[in-house]
Structure 1
């Protein structure tokens, strides 16, 4: 799963937002950075290149992601960690960053409280989260394809998880409950560019948790063909471009 995620989804979906988050992080001149839900390391590598004097600790709950990321991005210290129970002492970092990971935390206030605990006084928490599903052209088309393939019981991972934390007011309330002061929130729309809908479909269907849902339902090749057909009808047949909207937050400990 990490390999498909890295090959098909990172360049199209995640790298544009990693560049934005890296620029915002570098402007804070951090010395010790903790990254949560680092995945395969797209943000990690950008942070190391842009802030070479900073110490970067990259964590993820998924051991396969940590193994893949640590082999790919060797300038950081990689560690398996649960964001809700961080294995780090109080006040050890001046910046905590997270790219599209907070939606995955079962208890976001608990995870935010842990982020605040490991930050030094005045440290910053910088992260992004996806907007509503309809504001992400690729994933809206993907979900339409899944609903066509499974009209009775379609996989609901994308509406409920990646796009299930898409109300900025709720995010701000959770940060406040964890003791943060929200300094900035931004709605940001960037363009994703993919070589084809087929490659996008492969990335989403084999490089995300949707893979397990499809394996449970069976009939993989037919499903993949139907999803690609629906995505192509919505996005086009050649190189495709679609808008992707996210919210970016910066909060102070």
Structure 2
């Protein structure tokens, strides 16, 4: 993974949370929160929490005495997530690398990560670290996006922005968020990390936006795709957003738009 793919700073955290979260993350956050809370865990660790979409959905579902540790590698994203969360004494916010977690072995009933594993430079190592955190019988819950062709708006934006830079097309969305979709590879990485029982479910949903421009703006300004565009020519950021808007409108119509999104949801036990 390219180093800029991990940079969520400047205006990106706010744009990510206000634009990207409602567009594609919120609906899966509800699913993840329900899955994590199903066994009434008393200790939960969230890694790569981003702007806190799942944190906000999960906290009300946990027991009053539960311990909930929320982490992210990216301090600006973690700060933004904390600012959006109602005061809650059960929650501890901590900057942490999912591949080198600063907690004792067997500390948590559940470790979970929504749409963060794609950013791990070594997934098997990240999964082994999650397994180290788990108490006997604990569960590791995480999700990853399916291939970009199964995610309509991301595919539209990638093609449209790529055409603006034909000799060096920005490929962040295809390379990283949608680059870790092979189920056999995911199973192999989990097995190498020591997990034995692995369940993978592919879930299709529909993404909604008030307009094609809202969807295009979410991807172009609320993700590191913005970094890629600006690295090539910062003056073309608006034009890139316009081209992405046109591509989405052409495929999905004027006014409110809807497009397919698809992800794999995984539950692993050691």
Matches within 5 A, 1:77-226: 77-218=92-233, 219-226=236-243
1:38 to 44, 49, 67: 49
CA distance in 2, matches of 1:147, 1:182: 40
Q: TM-score, normalised by structure 1?
A: 0.97
The Cα RMSD (Å) is 1.1
CA distance in 1, matches of 2:134, 2:97: 16
1:232 to 235, 249, 266: 249
Listed as ranges, the gaps of 5+ residues in structure 1 are none
CA distance in 2, matches of 1:52, 1:44: 14
Measured after TM superposition, the shift of residue 49 of structure 1 is: 1.3
CA distance in 1, matches of 2:174, 2:237: 21
Query: Contact 1:141/1:235 (CA < 8 Å) preserved in 2?
Result: no
CA distance in 1, matches of 2:75, 2:106: 25
Indicate the SS of the match to 1:115.
Answer: helix
Matches within 5 A, 1:44-55: 44-53=55-64, 54-55=66-67
CA distance in 2, matches of 1:198, 1:163: 22
Moved more, 71-80 or 11-20: 71-80
Query: Contact 2:141/2:265 (CA < 8 Å) preserved in 1?
Result: yes
2:85 aligned with 1:68: no
2:28 aligned with 1:11: no
Listed as ranges, the gaps of 5+ residues in structure 2 are 1-11
Query: Contact 2:187/2:198 (CA < 8 Å) preserved in 1?
Result: no
Measured after TM superposition, the shift of residue 52 of structure 1 is: 3.9
Indicate the SS of the match to 1:152.
Answer: coil
Query: Contact 1:8/1:203 (CA < 8 Å) preserved in 2?
Result: yes
Deviation by residue 1:124-150 (Cα, 9 ceiling, x = unmatched): 000111111010011111111112222
Query: Contact 1:109/1:177 (CA < 8 Å) preserved in 2?
Result: yes
CA distance in 2, matches of 1:222, 1:27: 46
Moved more, 144-153 or 63-72: 144-153
Indicate the SS of the match to 1:112.
Answer: helix
Deviation by residue 1:82-130 (Cα, 9 ceiling, x = unmatched): 0110011111101001100000000011111110011111110001111
